[in-house]
Amino acid sequence: MAPRDDYHYNETVLAHIADPHNIGVIEDADAEGSGTNPVCGDEVTLYLKFEDETVTDARIRILGCGAITAAMSSLTDMVRGKTADELSEITAEEIAQSIGGLPTHKRHCATLARRVLQNALKSRNLKNSP
């Protein structure tokens, strides 16, 4: 193949943007985290439901570009069945890889996705602490 296209989205990313997974809100969420990118105005909220210490449901709300949409959409699939400890280990790189990678100028979106996940985990700890 010609030199790698570091500009366009791959087919996996495009499919997520066309039909993002798990859009919505969990009213009685056990964890909820938000994040924004002040430069472009992207805003994301992630809701998580835990049962027996593992994630059983994950939902998102998004106002953001294609990359953050795809990253969050994929993240909602990745988190299912995982424990909080396992979630805390998920890296931005893993999120980007789960959608086949992102163009260099969009990598910050995977970082934002990870930060939103971390914020959600923090909120769960707060809820759990007496």
- Which residues here bind another protein, judged by CB under 8 A? 7, 9, 14, 17-18, 20, 23, 25, 34, 39-45, 60-67, 69, 103, 105-106, 108
- Shortest Cβ distance from residue 72 to another protein (Å)? 10
Query: In terms of CB distance, is 105 or 127 closer to another protein?
Result: 105
Q: Is 114 exposed, middle or buried (0-12, 13-18, 19+ CB in 10 A)?
A: buried
- Shortest Cβ distance from residue 3 to another protein (Å)? 15
- Beta carbons of 58 and 120 less than 8 angstroms apart: no
- Shortest Cβ distance from residue 127 to another protein (Å)? 20
Query: In terms of CB distance, is 63 or 88 closer to another protein?
Result: 63
At a CB cut-off of 8 Å and minimum separation 6, what does 13 contact? 66, 67, 70, 99, 100, 102
The angle subtended at Cα 10 by Cα 98 and Cα 42, nearest 5°, is: 75
- Shortest Cβ distance from residue 83 to another protein (Å)? 26
Query: In terms of CB distance, is 83 or 105 closer to another protein?
Result: 105
The angle subtended at Cα 107 by Cα 91 and Cα 89, nearest 5°, is: 5
